[in-house]
């Protein structure tokens, strides 16, 4: 409100926006409208504005549609020889079942044109999929459609899917997810930031912590990500900002999604690299050339970690487990010369305690057990006591890590939730898989939240937490101004 000449509080509908623009025309010539800084909603208005004769600055509505339309975008990727996870589009319940059978389990399913991953799910078995089709989807059906087909649930769903189909993607288990923010003027492109997600692919990008620069990607992979991002930006004739989400599995890069707009990561990237990205993008949309900004791909001497902030404490019945549907309401940044310390700072900024002593509860799914061992060993060396459930306990003891047994909730009292309530546990590592295991461990996650015990429900998050705790215990944290990280460059 202290930057704009005028600020309107109106719904973001074509009718309301066009009315505002008519009012603005009375103040002089309307040179154009920017739709890139408002998330997904303004992009959906671009065609209506263009049809009304309103100039769209930057990326054209047709290019926006090219990135959003599954079939058109697939043809573009084929032309550029870039990979996508195997996918499909379904316009009916029957077609949904056929595509699901063709893709095989597990897969990701979501309605088209939704915000924040709403109603997106990772389907791991046939029962989950039927629950999704006949349980989740009906909850999204408008009342007028329900009235038209009062006793026909399948008819209701097919009516909605006819206009807004279901999108299917093969789920890449244990893949690394990467976000790339790019500036482009249609002729040249500049990679502003490549962010490696700490949580594996499948957690919504808005909920996943991420690191800039990437912490584990090889120089060759980073160079290939830059090449692919620039190729797509130029092919889409982007004017302004573009965000790409990738998954990396077994060294192969897969394009998950392209957003021809500013992503929620732009403020984070701007602070970490010390460049006013949004300002530069706006000037590119107004016709300036990228070369005039003299941007250089410099190697950062520090690391930025973005962490999500969640409102779970305000909603008593909500499960804290992360997934493909976005649940965070804010984010913080940790900056330092190393990833470990930056991650520890991000946890403190997000409101988590970083324990320096006490007891760690460990219960992880079978495939995570071997990979979590080094992190538990680090915590044990720092003096933490380890308690674990059956299978995890055996593996720890077999590998020379001292640990004590604690009961799951289903195994009877005293159990892990009792220990949390009694203040006997200071840190929770709990990864689960499958509907029954998730349901069984819900009370554990809830107890950790209510008693302000830090909890990590992904393997990658737990590993990063152990590294951050080690750095925190070493006393390496220092407070520095944001400007000091760029003092030498200035």
- CA nearest 169: which of 73, 214, 102, 220? 102
Rg (the chain; Cα; Å): 24
CB 258 within 8 A of CB 205: no
CA distance linking residue 200 with residue 204, whole number of Å: 10
CA distance linking residue 360 with residue 126, whole number of Å: 35
Instruction: Name the CATH topology of 312-473.
Output: Rossmann fold (3.40.50)
Amino acid 200: pLDDT: 76
User: Is CATH 3.40.640.10 what the domain over 86-170 is classified as, yes or no?
Assistant: no
> Are β-strands 166-170 and 176-185 bridged in parallel, bridged antiparallel, or unpaired?
unpaired
CB 259 within 8 A of CB 243: yes
> Are β-strands 210-212 and 239-249 bridged in parallel, bridged antiparallel, or unpaired?
unpaired
Tens of pLDDT, residues 121-173: 889 888 889 988 888 888 777 788 888 888 887 888 888 788 778 899 999 98
Sequence-distant (6+) residues with CB within 8 A of 87 are 70, 74, 103, 167, 168, 169, 170
CA distance linking residue 245 with residue 195, whole number of Å: 10
CA distance linking residue 352 with residue 361, whole number of Å: 17
Buried b (16+ CB within 10 A) or exposed e, 213-229: bbbebeeebbebbbebb
Amino acid 379: pLDDT: 96
Give the up-direction half-sphere exposure of residue 280: CA atoms within 13 A in the CB hemisphere.
25
CA distance linking residue 233 with residue 240, whole number of Å: 10
Q: Domain boundaries in the chain?
A: 86-170, 312-473
Is the previous residue joined to 142 through a cis bond, with omega within 30 degrees of 0? no
DSSP state of 61: H
Which two structure tokens, joined as six digits, stand for 444?
Answer: 């554990």
- Quick count: other Cβ atoms within 10 Å of Cβ 81? 8
Helices marked H in 274-317: 277-285
Give the up-direction half-sphere exposure of residue 383: CA atoms within 13 A in the CB hemisphere.
6
Give the up-direction half-sphere exposure of residue 194: CA atoms within 13 A in the CB hemisphere.
26
Give the up-direction half-sphere exposure of residue 365: CA atoms within 13 A in the CB hemisphere.
14
Amino acid 490: pLDDT: 44
Amino acid 138: pLDDT: 82
Amino acid 437: pLDDT: 65
Long-range pairs for 279-285: beta carbons < 8 A, 24 or more residues apart: 280/183, 281/36, 281/58, 281/183, 281/240, 281/241, 282/34, 282/240, 284/58, 284/183, 284/184, 284/185, 284/239, 284/240, 285/32, 285/34, 285/36, 285/57, 285/58, 285/239, 285/240
**Strand ranges across the sheet with 239-249:** 252-259, 239-249, 176-185, 189-200, 210-212, 303-309, 330-336
Residue stretches of the chain with pLDDT short of 70? 1, 113-118, 316, 434-440, 488-490
> Are β-strands 303-309 and 330-336 bridged in parallel, bridged antiparallel, or unpaired?
antiparallel
CB 290 within 8 A of CB 183: yes
Burial bucket for residue 283 (CB in 10 Å: 0-12, 13-18, 19+):
middle
């Amino acid at each position: 409100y202290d930057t704009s000449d005028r600020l309107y509080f109106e719904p973001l509908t074509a009718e309301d926006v066009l009315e505002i623009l008519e009012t603005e025309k009375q103040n002089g010539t309307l040179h154009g409208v920017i739709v890139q800084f408002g998330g997904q909603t303004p992009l959906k208005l671009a065609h209506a504005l263009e049809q009304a004769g309103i100039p769209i600055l930057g990326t054209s509505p047709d290019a926006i549609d090219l990135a959003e339309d599954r079939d058109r975008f697939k043809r573009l990727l084929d032309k550029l020889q870039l990979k996508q996870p195997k996918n499909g589009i379904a316009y009916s319940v029957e077609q949904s079942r056929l595509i699901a059978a063709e893709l095989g389990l597990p897969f990701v399913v979501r309605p088209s044109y939704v915000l924040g991953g709403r109603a997106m799910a990772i389907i791991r078995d046939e029962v989950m999929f039927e629950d999704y089709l006949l349980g989740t989807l009906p909850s999204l059906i408008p009342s007028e459609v329900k009235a038209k087909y009062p006793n026909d649930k399948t008819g209701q769903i097919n009516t909605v899917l006819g206009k807004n189909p279901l999108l299917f993607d093969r789920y890449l288990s244990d893949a690394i997810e990467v976000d790339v923010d790019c500036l482009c003027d249609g002729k040249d492109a500049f990679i502003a930031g490549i962010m490696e997600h700490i949580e594996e692919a499948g957690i919504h990008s808005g909920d996943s912590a991420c690191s800039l620069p990437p912490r584990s990607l090889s120089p060759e992979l980073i160079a290939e990500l830059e090449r692919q991002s620039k190729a797509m930006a130029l092919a889409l004739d982007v004017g302004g900002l573009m965000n790409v989400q990738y998954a990396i599995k077994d060294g192969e890069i897969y394009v998950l999604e392209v957003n021809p707009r500013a992503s929620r990561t732009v403020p984070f990237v701007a602070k970490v690299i010390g460049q006013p990205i949004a300002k530069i993008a706006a000037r590119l949309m107004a016709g300036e050339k990228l070369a005039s900004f003299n941007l250089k791909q410099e190697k950062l001497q520090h690391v930025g970690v973005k962490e999500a902030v969640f409102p779970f404490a305000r909603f008593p019945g909500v499960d804290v487990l992360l997934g493909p549907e976005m649940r965070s309401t804010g984010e913080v940044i940790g900056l330092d010369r190393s990833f470990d310390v930056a991650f520890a700072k991000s946890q403190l900024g997000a409101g988590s305690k970083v324990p320096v002593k006490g007891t760690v509860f460990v219960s992880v799914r079978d495939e995570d057990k071997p990979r979590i061992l080094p992190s538990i060993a680090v915590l044990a060396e720092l003096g933490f006591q380890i308690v674990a459930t059956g299978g995890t306990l055996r593996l720890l003891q077999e590998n020379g890590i001292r640990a004590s047994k604690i009961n799951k909730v289903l195994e009877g009292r005293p159990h892990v939730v009792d220990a949390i309530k009694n203040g006997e546990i200071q840190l929770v590592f709990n990864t689960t898989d499958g509907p029954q295991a998730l349901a069984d461990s819900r009370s554990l996650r809830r107890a950790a939240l209510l008693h302000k015990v830090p909890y990590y429900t992904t393997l990658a998050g737990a590993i990063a937490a152990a590294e951050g705790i080690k750095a925190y215990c070493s006393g390496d944290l220092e407070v520095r101004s944001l400007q000091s990280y760029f003092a030498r460059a200035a």
